[in-house]
């Protein structure tokens, strides 16, 4: 028999050669690593200096002030700024050096019901704390058993309750929602409050129209949502500040042989442009508006913008 001999694998990478190769590979990285270390050390040093300066009695503010950093125009124009800030508990000046101060203020803002997300909370040398956030914009005032509550287009309830909201206040009021309102910073949902969500979809559509149209719709009434009171009557109705009733029809997405929402809005625009007292307008099914001459309905909820809580 032949003898099978195991061949020894010749090693071509001797230890000295491998060491020289590794050194040549790492050579160009040494300056980069040194620079990174210097930058990290500089940042650490600056933070230590900053902390030392803040800790100095000379830089401790006499009082802490909280402000909104670059709020959107509507927050200022609709005068929500003070109300957003009113939910924040401003700490005493002694708390300026508290490491958890910024985090606690961020948590307050996040849970207030006014914001979708907190983007940044920062301290300035003069004792001012700036808050940057994405805010929730109320688009309707929802009628409840205890007054009117502001709600945004996503169905989230915002803080405060209003006893009255005038028909000509510029707000769209929502009536006829049977489900109870959610807690502050919580939202309606389609499963438990389909009438509220239908009203909000329509309110969002109207809200996004020109001011000439949006400001002339004072209320959305979902009392007969899906015909729960009268199957022969329209499911959703609108009101104008002068008492004109507009029969909208079914909820958006539930139309059957009805005009589209765009066609209905076009008819409303024509009606509002012509002006004049009109008792009742049906825009739900006919290609042209139908005006029924009846005594104008009287709105019983003349509500001023009076805050309850």
Domain range spanning residue 64?
59-135
The mean per-residue pLDDT over the stretch 115-122 comes to 94
Same domain, 195 and 224: yes
Cβ of 123: how many Cβ atoms within 10 Å? Answer: 16
The answer to whether residue 301 scores a pLDDT higher than 50 is no
Same domain, 79 and 197: no
pLDDT in tens, 183-207: 999 999 999 999 999 999 999 999 9
The answer to whether residue 79 scores a pLDDT higher than 60 is yes
Position 11 in a domain: no
Angstrom distance (rounded) from CA 265 to CA 271: 10
Same domain, 114 and 182: no
Contact 134, 116 (CB under 8 A): yes
* End residue of a domain, out of 118, 135, 152: 135
The mean per-residue pLDDT over the stretch 221-229 comes to 96
Angstrom distance (rounded) from CA 207 to CA 213: 9
Number of independent structural domains in the chain? 2
pLDDT in tens, 157-179: 999 999 999 999 989 999 999 99
More confident call, 220 vs 271: 220
More confident call, 26 vs 238: 238
Position 256 in a domain: yes
Same domain, 163 and 248: yes
pLDDT at 2: 45
Angstrom distance (rounded) from CA 186 to CA 261: 28
Position 41 in a domain: no
Alpha helices in the chain (DSSP H): 15-26, 29-55, 73-77, 81-85, 101-110, 194-207, 211-214, 261-274
Same domain, 180 and 289: yes
Same domain, 131 and 159: no
Q: How far is C-alpha 254 from the geometric centre of its chain's CA atoms? A: 26
* End residue of a domain, out of 135, 169, 199: 135
The mean per-residue pLDDT over the stretch 208-223 comes to 93
Best CA proximity match to 287, nearest among 252, 255, 260: 260
pLDDT in tens, 27-64: 566 666 667 666 666 656 666 656 555 555 556 778 88
Angstrom distance (rounded) from CA 86 to CA 90: 9
Percent helix, strand and coil across the chain, each to the nearest 5: 35, 20, 45
pLDDT at 201: 97
The strands making up 115-123's β-sheet, listed across from edge to edge, are 65-68, 128-135, 115-123
The mean per-residue pLDDT over the stretch 245-268 comes to 92
**pTM score, whole prediction:** 0.73
Residue with tokens 């040093």: 45
The answer to whether residue 11 scores a pLDDT higher than 80 is no
139-175 residues labelled b (16+ CB within 10 A) or e (exposed)? bbbbbeeebbbbbbbebbbbbbbbebbbbebebbbbb
Same domain, 169 and 294: yes
Same domain, 166 and 85: no
Mean pLDDT of the chain: 81
């Amino acid at each position: 028999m032949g003898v099978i001999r195991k061949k020894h694998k010749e090693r071509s990478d001797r230890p000295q050669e491998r060491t020289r190769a590794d050194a040549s590979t790492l050579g160009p990285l040494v300056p980069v690593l040194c620079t990174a270390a210097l930058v990290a050390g500089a940042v650490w040093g600056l933070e230590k200096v900053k902390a030392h300066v803040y800790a100095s009695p000379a830089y401790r503010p006499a009082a802490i002030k909280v402000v909104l950093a670059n709020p959107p125009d509507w927050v200022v124009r609709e005068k929500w700024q003070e109300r957003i800030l009113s939910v924040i508990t401003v700490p005493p000046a002694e708390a300026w050096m508290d490491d958890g101060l910024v985090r606690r203020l961020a948590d307050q803002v996040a849970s207030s019901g006014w914001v979708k997300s907190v983007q940044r909370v920062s301290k300035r040398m003069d004792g001012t704390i700036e808050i940057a956030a994405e805010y929730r914009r109320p688009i309707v005032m929802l009628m409840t058993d205890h007054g009117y509550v502001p709600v945004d287009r996503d169905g989230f309830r915002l803080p405060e309750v209003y006893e009255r909201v005038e028909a000509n206040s510029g707000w769209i009021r929502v009536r006829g929602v049977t489900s109870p309102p959610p807690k502050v910073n919580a939202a309606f949902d389609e499963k438990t409050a389909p009438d509220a969500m239908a009203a909000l979809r329509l309110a969002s559509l109207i809200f996004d129209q020109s001011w000439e149209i949006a400001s002339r719709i004072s209320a959305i009434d979902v009392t007969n949502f899906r015909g729960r009171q009268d199957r022969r009557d329209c499911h959703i109705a609108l009101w104008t500040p002068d008492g004109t009733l507009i029969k909208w029809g079914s909820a958006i997405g539930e139309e059957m042989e009805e005009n589209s929402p765009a066609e209905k809005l076009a008819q409303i625009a024509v009606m509002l442009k012509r002006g004049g007292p009109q008792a009742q307008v049906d825009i739900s099914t006919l290609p042209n508006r139908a005006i029924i001459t009846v005594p104008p309905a009287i709105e019983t909820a003349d509500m001023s913008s009076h805050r309850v809580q």
